[in-house]
Amino acid sequence: MKLLIEIPTWLGDAIMATPAIENIIKKHKDSEITIVGSYVATQLFINDKRISKIVIDNTKKDMFRYISLYKLAKSLGKFDLSISFRSSFSSKFLLFFTNSLEKYNYKKIREIKHQVLKYNEFINTISNSNFIAGDLILNFSPIYNIKPTLGINPGSTYGSAKRWYPKEFAKVAIELSNKYNIVIFGGPDETNIANDIEKELILKGIKNYQNLSGKTSIKELIENIAGLDILITNDSGPMHIAAAYKIRTYSIFGPTSFIETNQWNNPLENIITMNLDCAPCMKRNCPLKHHNCMKLITANDVLKSINNLT
C-alpha cells in the first residue's frame, strides 16, 4: 500500500499531529509512506525509518501558487490513500490533483479540546478505528549537559501577541543563573528578541549562557531542548518539543487557548497565565492595544512557580 501524508505547516502543529500519524501508520502497517509539508515540519521525520520519502512543499504564495501546487501534486506519484492534516483551500487543491484512490482533508473542529485529540479523531473517523492518542513522538537523541541547564524560548512564529517580554525572560534567567547554565533559543527571525535578552545578561555580568537563536537546524534545536533540565517558553513549537521529552516546562500563555495547545501528556508542565476575560482572543496582535494577558505576567510570577517546585 502507498500512503501520502501531508503534515501541518507549523512546527508545533506538526508535533501535535504525531500521535495521530503514529496511529494511521499502525493502521496501515508495512505501507510505503510519503510525507509532504513545509521544510520546518518535514524535518521532524528525517530519522523515522518507516518514511520512504519526504517531499518539501516549496511553493510560494504568489500569483503562480496554484500552478506550482498542481505540478507538485502530479510529481508525487500514485497512492492508495492520501491524508492531509491541513484544512486550507491550497491543501484541498493539492489533494484534488493528487493521483490517489482515497483522499481525506482535515476539517477544523470548533469544539474546545486539545489539538492532539482533534487530529486523532480525524484519523479515527476516516479509518473507522478507535485509537487512543499517545505521547508526542520525535525520533532524536537528547544532547545532555554536564551542568543543570535552563532553556529560554522567547519567540513564537504566529504573532507578537504570543510573546512574553525579553526583559522579563532575562530577569528570570539572571535570577536562576547561579543554579543553571542558560541557553537562549530562537529561529532565524527571532534573533533580535534573543539578542535583547543576551544584552541584559551581559549588563548583569552573566557569563554562563549560550545564545543559539538562528544558529540551529531543526534537528539540533530538538536535540538541545531534549537535554534541558528546565524550559521557560511561550506557546510555540519548542514548547511542544519539550513536551515530547517530558522536560520540566513553564509555559506562558496569553492570547491562545492553553486547553487546546498546552503541552500534551507532560506531567512536568506548569502553565502561567492571567486568565483575563479578553483571553483567549486568538489574535496575532492585541485587538485591545494593551496586551495585558502578557504584560501583567512578571518575572516574579514565573520565579514563584519555579521556586515552589525546587
Domain boundaries, the chain: 2-127, 149-307
> What CA–CA distance (Å, rounded) separates 187 from 244?
19
The DSSP symbol for 60 reads -
Nearest to 201 by CA among 234, 172, 224: 172
Average pLDDT of the residues in 248-273: 96
Least confident piece of the model among 180-194, 210-224, 241-255, 295-309: 295-309
Return the pLDDT at 110. Answer: 86
- Check: CB of residue 95 under 8 Å from CB of residue 19: no
pLDDT of res. 175: 97
Evaluate whether 265 touches 135 at the Cβ level (below 8 Å). yes
Q: Outline where the chain has alpha helix (H).
A: 11-16, 18-27, 39-42, 65-75, 89-96, 115-127, 166-176, 191-203, 218-226, 237-244, 258-261, 292-295, 299-307
Q: Which of 118-132, 195-209, 259-273, 281-295 has the lowest mean pLDDT?
A: 281-295
Q: How far apart are CA 310 and CA 74, in angstroms?
A: 56
**pLDDT for residue 282:** 87
* Mean model confidence pLDDT for the chain: 96
Residue percentage of the chain with pLDDT more than 90: 90
> pTM score, two decimals?
0.96
Side chain identity at residue 93, one-letter code: F
Q: State the burial class of residue 111 (Cβ atoms within 10 Å of its Cβ: 0-12, 13-18, 19+).
A: exposed
Q: How many CB atoms lie within 10 A of CB 212?
A: 16
Q: Does 149-307 match 2-127 at the fold level?
A: yes
CA–CA separation, 189 vs 309, rounded Å?
33
Q: Facing residues of 53 across strands?
A: 34
pLDDT of residue 161: 87
Query: Among all chains, which residue has been given the C-alpha cell 518507516?
Result: 50
Is a pLDDT exceeding 80 seen at residue 10?
yes
State the average pLDDT over residues 206-229.
98
Burial class (CB in 10 A: 0-12, 13-18, 19+), 241: buried
Residue 221: what pLDDT?
98
Dihedral sign, CA of 17, 19, 24, 25? Answer: positive
pLDDT at 232 over 60: yes
- Specify the residue for cell string 477544523: 108
User: Does the pLDDT value for residue 310 go beyond 60?
Assistant: no
Nearest in space to 9 (alpha carbons), one of 56, 41, 46, 57: 41
Residue-wise pLDDT for 100-157, tens only, equals 999 999 999 889 999 999 999 999 999 999 999 999 999 999 999 999 999 999 998 7
CATH no. of 149-307: 3.40.50.2000
Mean pLDDT, to the nearest integer, of 237-261? 97
Protein fold of 2-127? Rossmann fold (3.40.50)
pLDDT at 158 over 90: no
